[in-house]
């Protein structure tokens, strides 16, 4: 579950990333942040509203990106965003999509943002959330010499795990 600071950070740092997934908590924390800041900047409307207008304009892409990644998280294409242009029912359908829980397994757009629930066959296959950290405490097998190569392989394993599971980069 993404906290408020992580959600805002992801909203901006992943603004041009229209692939991948955004969890329900990440989406709603970003929406709350956007609503609060917009509400505070509405006060500026009496002075011409330039801050509010700039804030809205600068957040078009982060909002669109977050929306599309949220739709991916529930297994829908980003093109479902266009349903919001259908009067009355479009925004209601989109709101329902935003409220749906994340798909707990890998879908076309990748793994769940925060690990999700593991399938039973994965529980003992070393693909748990702790597998990257387990490499830190792994000791050399009998007959294996603790060497610089062993340490480098261990660091690379941790780096790959972090890149895949935390940063969401595949390949």
Q: Which helix (H) or strand (E) holds 99?
A: helix 89-99
Residue 134 CB neighbours (<10 A): 13
Assign 153 a pLDDT band (cuts: 50, 70, 90).
confident
Name which residue leads in pLDDT, 141 or 88: 88
Q: What is residue 14's predicted lDDT score, i.e. its pLDDT?
A: 93
For residue 110, the cross-strand partners are: 107
pLDDT at 160 over 80: yes
pLDDT (tens digit per residue) in 19-56: 999 999 999 999 999 999 999 998 877 777 788 889 99
% residues pLDDT > 70 (the chain): 79
pLDDT at 120 over 60: no
Backbone angles phi, psi at 87, to 5 degrees: -55, 140
pLDDT (tens digit per residue) in 102-112: 998 888 888 88
CA–CA gap between residue 79 and residue 61 (Å, rounded): 15
pLDDT (tens digit per residue) in 46-83: 777 788 889 999 999 999 999 999 999 999 999 999 99
DSSP annotation of 10: H
- In the chain, what are the domain boundaries? 4-99, 122-166
Assign 144 a pLDDT band (cuts: 50, 70, 90).
low
Q: What is residue 118's predicted lDDT score, i.e. its pLDDT?
A: 43
**Which one, of 25, 104, 110, 105, lies nearest residue 72 by Cα?**
110
Residue 59 CB neighbours (<10 A): 19
Q: What is residue 164's predicted lDDT score, i.e. its pLDDT?
A: 79
Please list, in sequence order, all residues whose beta carbon lies within 8 angstroms of the beta carbon of residue 23, skipping any fewer than 6 positions away: 1, 2, 73, 102, 112, 113, 114
């Amino acid at each position: 579950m993404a906290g408020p600071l992580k959600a805002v950070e992801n909203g901006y740092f992943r603004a041009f990333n229209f692939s991948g997934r955004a969890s329900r908590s990440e989406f709603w924390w970003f929406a709350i942040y956007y609503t609060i800041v917009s509400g505070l900047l509405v006060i500026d409307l009496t002075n011409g509203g330039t801050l509010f207008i700039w804030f809205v304009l600068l957040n078009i892409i982060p909002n669109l990106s977050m929306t599309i990644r949220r739709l991916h998280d529930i297994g829908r294409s980003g093109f479902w965003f266009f349903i919001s242009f259908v009067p009355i029912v479009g925004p209601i359908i989109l709101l329902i999509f935003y409220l749906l829980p994340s798909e707990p397994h890998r879908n076309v757009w990748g793994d769940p943002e925060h690990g999700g629930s593991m399938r039973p066959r994965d529980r003992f296959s070393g693909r748990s959330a702790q597998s990257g950290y387990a490499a830190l405490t792994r000791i050399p097998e009998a007959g294996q010499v603790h060497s610089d190569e062993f340490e480098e392989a261990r660091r690379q394993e941790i780096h790959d795990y972090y890149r895949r599971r935390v940063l969401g980069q595949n390949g």
